[in-house]
Amino acid sequence: MTRNENAGVLPVDKPAGPTSHDVVAQARRALGERRIGHTGTLDPFASGLLLLCVGVATRIAEYLTDQAKKYRAVMTLGAGTDTDDATGAVITVSEGWRDLSIDDLEAALAEQVGSLLQRPPAYSAKKVGGERMYRLAREGRAPALDPVPVQIYTLDLIAWEPPEVTFDLACSAGTYIRAIARDVGERLGVPAHLSALRRTAIGGIDVKEAVAIDDLGNEEAVRRAWITPLKAVAHLPSIPIDAQIAAALAHGRAVQVQEAIEGTAAAVLGDRLVAIVEADGQWLRPRKVFV
């Protein structure tokens, strides 16, 4: 393939077990391409959608990272862990879940919907003083982190099979689903942890469109799942341009167009993504160029 033909986004259905880095390494071997990165990690115990940016499409990763995400999650009541998920050590137990009604549960879940200030888990990839929180936590040096703003768009109860709770949610990037399990437990007065997690969508891309990790070496399966750079940034405003403007952008020059637009946009020539631009009135300034 040429430089641009081998550029795109490959949605992969990660199984529980391997790290996101493991998936990237396997894709590099299978596709014969070193330039592969992902748009947001999944914890090893979680499964589901992982977006791999391949070739020069690694340059659009930052425009995919902040998209909304959807999950199917399972929370177990009655046991709290030091990581807030099933990978950690149990630190507190309670049989209090036996006294809970489904109305109690639905009320606690409803309180998690909307704009929230969420306390990140002690075992997280956030950096404090240049060190990852999970490393500090393992050494008993993890400081209490300030809550951060997150958005929970929807949260729907799927099943209540005591002590397990299955729910679907859509949320902003940066939301910790295990923190939701922890906080719901605190609201109910019983310890809780996240016992299973599957990411089902990122933006407009569904896990049903993804290639299985075992099929990364299957050219036809990869072709079916492959997303062009232009389609991958379909959530950005699109600005049609001509060949002359495309040439100017390709050389890093700002250009003037007739229609005024503001913000980040995709400059498009035919069916090809030419550049990601910052639009300021009638001026387009290239930020990422792909031709």
Residues known to be catalytic: 43
Give CA 72 to chain center in angstroms. Answer: 13
Residues 6+ apart with CB under 8 A from 129: none
What does the DSSP assignment read for the chain? --TTTT-EEEEEEEPSSS-HHHHHHHHHHHHT-S-EEESS---TT-EEEEEEEEGGGGGGGGGTTTS-EEEEEEEEETEEETTSBTTS-EEEE-SGGGG--HHHHHHHHHTTSEEEEE---SSSS-EETTEEHHHHHHTT-PPPPPPEEEEEEEEEEEEEETTEEEEEEEE-TT--HHHHHHHHHHHHTS-EEEEEEEEEEETTEEGGGSEEGGGTT-HHHHHHH-B-HHHHTTTS-EEE--HHHHHHHHTT--EEEEEEEEEEEEEEETTEEEEEEEEEEEEEEEEEE--
